[in-house]
A = this chain, B = another copy of it.
Amino acid sequence: MELQEALYTTRAMRRVTSEAIPMESQARILDAAIRAPSGGNQQGWRFLLVDDPGTIATLGPLYRDAMDQLWATVYKPRIDAAAAAPKTEESRQFDRVQRSAQWLADNFETVPLYLFAFSRYDPSGSSIYPAVWSAMLAARGEGIGTCLTAVLSAFHRDELLELLGVPKDAGWACSACVSFGYPTGRWAVAPRRAVHEVTYRNRWGEPSGLSVETPLWPPS
């Protein structure tokens, strides 16, 4: 697959089938992930693949509770805003996100594979995300959909580490949980706020000189 196709069409793909992910695909995904750079090339990371139905069944209720907490806290203002003005484009978009996210919560146990990414000794906490996003892009190359979530470690950190057997006092934190599966929907370029709306040059607020009216991929 072309790089640009992957960059333009790898969006949060939560609705997936329960079809197992072949080991060969998993190997290609992980081998691509570990090629990413990390701060000081420390590679302070571990990846834990979870496909055991028993383990996933124990995580499901934790995940649903974490999502309930997310709706009730972080996303409360957006939910209230959408309820107050349900017909705006912003409210419709958020409604789509919310239903998609709730699908994953409701169907957590049917997803065939999860990847938990752990990092340590990283003051900024950002070092592992190129590897995580590389794994998601490599999965896209295999026709596999992914979704990055941080709610389990945000709301159930200790239970999560305990459940997965992560050694205590060794400095490991769970940085991400990524779901993997074959999509039930189709791949497409996601609509986003345009480059010129979110990009400045040399000083905050100054025009970037870049204008992209329609996505630059696919080529017309």
Contact = CB atoms under 8 A, between A and B. Distances in A.
Copies in the complex: 2
Nearest to A100: B41
A153 B56 CA distance: 38
A: contact size bracket: 35 or more
A102 interface: no
B49 A202 contact: yes
A137 B35 contact: no
A165 B210 contact: no
Contacts of A9: 35
Contact of A3 (B6, B50, B201, B216): B6
A125 interface: yes
Interface string A18-50: 000001001110111011110111010111111
7 contacts: A27-B212, A30-B195, A35-B190, A40-B101, A46-B204, A74-B123, A126-B175
